[in-house]
Amino acid sequence: MSDLSKGSQSSNSFTLAEIASHIGGEVSGDAQHKISSMGTLASADASQLSFLSNPKYTSELKTSKAGAVILAQAQADEYKGNAIIHSNPYVGFALASQLLDSTPSQSAGISVNASISQSASIGKNVSIEAGAVIGKNVVIGDGCQIGAGVYIGENARLGNDCIIRANVTIYHGVVLGNEVSVHSGTVIGADGFGYANNKGTWIKIPQTGAVQIGDGTEVGANSCIDRGALDDTQIGKNCIIDNMVQIGHNCIIGDHSCICGSTGIAGSVTIGKHVIIAGGVGINGHITICDNVQVTGFSMVTKNITESGVYSSGMPAVPTREWQKNTVKLRSIDKLYERVKILEQQQSSSEA
């Protein structure tokens, strides 16, 4: 990719030649055509760039008014408009979207309404908005953006260029790598769910570990990553964690893994690299999932997964009347099993 940076030109517009250079593509058509934003094939106008990666939307290509479209070579051969040819149009779309991103960024500077401990270390070009509270001995690296109402507890450390959105809570001792992004409402480093039962009374186990999160990982809104009971909870680099995900104490999640929304992961789970956990999945504690596994939505993982592949257990939705009929049949499965056993025994006796 090129060294173009967002907003390097007035009004944040770029020529197709510049965009193609940035995303590693090749222009077909007017290389000097100016693009200022992204749009869908159906809605984009002449100032916008679109893309085609899903064959489902191929029909929209013929009528699209987009200024240019990111395409694979096979589609580009049949397209008459401006195009950027890319080996992976969806990756090209992601890279172009970063270049044309219009999301407001905080200006460097520290609000007079932020509360910052005198022992905290704040790097260069850091933005800290009103209402943020920075605790004792916190270290914040260069270029970080700390949103309004953020709390960062004692001895926490943030690497360079982290983005912490409004109202995030980062407990004591948490360590974030470089370029970690955390969205609003998320809590990192709350106590893990550790209790011992003594004759019906719950006794709390102090959670004295912390949380470590690797470079380039993004955590969605309203998620919870619990601190370890003794050792640290560990999230690898370049992981993507969706909204409303629960990660229990002492979990280890490998690099480049994806955890989708509303998934609940119990304590002491080890998840390998390049694992994709779909939405609404439940994972029992103290199990291991190896590298390169995909778990489909609403599955329940109750034991180790030791071979890469796709795993499922959730029941897909069917019309209610069909579901009711199937439920009645499932209730009779024990009786059916016993009848089959008897028939098999009778068959074996007759053959003897």
Q: What is the DSSP string of 327-352?
A: HHHHHTHHHHHHHHHHHHHHHHHHH-
Q: Is the pLDDT of residue 314 over 90?
A: no
Quote the longest CA-to-CA distance of the chain. 92
pLDDT (0 to 100) of residue 125 = 94
* Phi-psi category of residue 340: left, alpha or beta, with phi > 0 → left and psi -120 to 50 → alpha: alpha
pLDDT of residue 11: 54
Domain boundary among 47, 75, 99: 99
60 and 37 in a single domain? The answer is yes
Quote the pLDDT of residue 352. Answer: 67
Stretch 245-251: mean pLDDT: 98
For strands 201-204 and 240-241, give the pairing.
Answer: unpaired
29 and 66: one domain?
A: yes
The answer to whether position 134 is within a domain reads no
For residue 30, the model assigns a pLDDT of: 96
Same domain? For 92 and 178 the reply is: no
Inform me whether the pLDDT recorded for 24 exceeds 80: yes
More confidently predicted of 3 and 14: 14
Question: Within 13 Å, how many C-alpha atoms sit on residue 199's CB side?
Answer: 0
Q: Which of 158, 163, 160 is nearest to 147 (CA)?
A: 163
Nearest to 110 by CA among 158, 153, 154, 144: 144
Query: Does the residue 223 lie in any domain?
Result: yes
Mean pLDDT of 211-215: 98
pLDDT (average), residues 22-41: 96
99, 118, 153: which is the final residue of a domain? 99
Task: Tell me the average pLDDT across 53-73.
Answer: 93
In this structure, are 330 and 238 located in the same domain? no
> Quick check: is 142 in a domain?
no
Q: How confident is the model at residue 102 (pLDDT cuts 50, 70, 90)?
A: confident
Q: Which of 107, 90, 211 is nearest to 157 (CA)?
A: 211
Per-residue pLDDT at 316 exceeds 90: no
Assess whether 82 and 45 both reside in one domain. Answer: yes
Answer whether residue 31 shows pLDDT above 70. yes
Is residue 148 included in any domain, yes or no? no
93 and 195 share one domain: no
Indicate whether 244 belongs to any domain.
yes
Reply yes or no on whether the pLDDT at 34 is more than 70: yes
CA distance 38 to 270: 38
**Mean pLDDT of all residues belonging to the chain:** 94
Structure tokens at 213: 């999160």
> Are 172 and 307 in a shared domain?
yes
Q: Do both 307 and 329 map to the same domain? A: no
| CA distances, 220 to each of 91, 115, 135, 261, 297 (Å) | 21, 25, 23, 9, 18
33 catalytic per annotation? no
Residues 178 and 203 in one domain: yes
What pLDDT is attached to residue 346? Answer: 86
pLDDT of 67 over the 80 cut: yes
Domain boundary among 56, 75, 99: 99
CATH code: domain of residue 178: 2.160.10.10
Inter-residue contact 255 to 275 (CB < 8 Å): no
Tokens encoding 141: 């690296």
Q: Tell me the sheet residues that pair with 246.
A: 224, 264
pLDDT class of 347 with cuts at 50, 70, 90: confident
Q: How many domains does the chain have?
A: 3
The one catalytic residue among 22, 183, 249, 256 = 249
Residue pair 253/239 in contact (Cβ under 8 Å)? The answer is yes
Contact assessment for residue 146 and residue 129, using Cβ atoms and an 8 Å cutoff: yes
Place of tokens 């000097």: 32
Mean pLDDT, residues 101-118: 90
Does 27 map to a domain? yes
Going by C-alpha positions, the residue among 134, 204, 144, 143 that lies closest to residue 172 is: 134
pLDDT at 5: 47
d(CA 149, CA 213): 21
Side chain identity, residue 11: S
Tell me the residue range of the domain where 338 lies.
Answer: 320-351
Specify if 146 maps to a domain: no
User: Is 294 within 8 Å of 312 (Cβ atoms)?
Assistant: no
Residues 113-136 have a mean pLDDT of 97
pLDDT band at 4 (very low <50, low <70, confident <90, very high): low
pLDDT of residue 160: 98
Residue 332 and residue 304 share a domain: no
338 and 307, same structural domain? Answer: no
Residue recorded with tokens 């229990």: 248
Q: What is the CATH number of the domain that holds 27?
A: 3.40.1390.10
> Does residue 3 surpass a pLDDT of 60?
no
Instruction: Compute the distance between CA of residue 115 and CA of residue 224 in angstroms, rounded to an integer.
Output: 24
116 in a structural domain: no
CB contact at 8 A, 132 and 65: no
Indicate whether 232 and 271 sit together in one domain.
yes
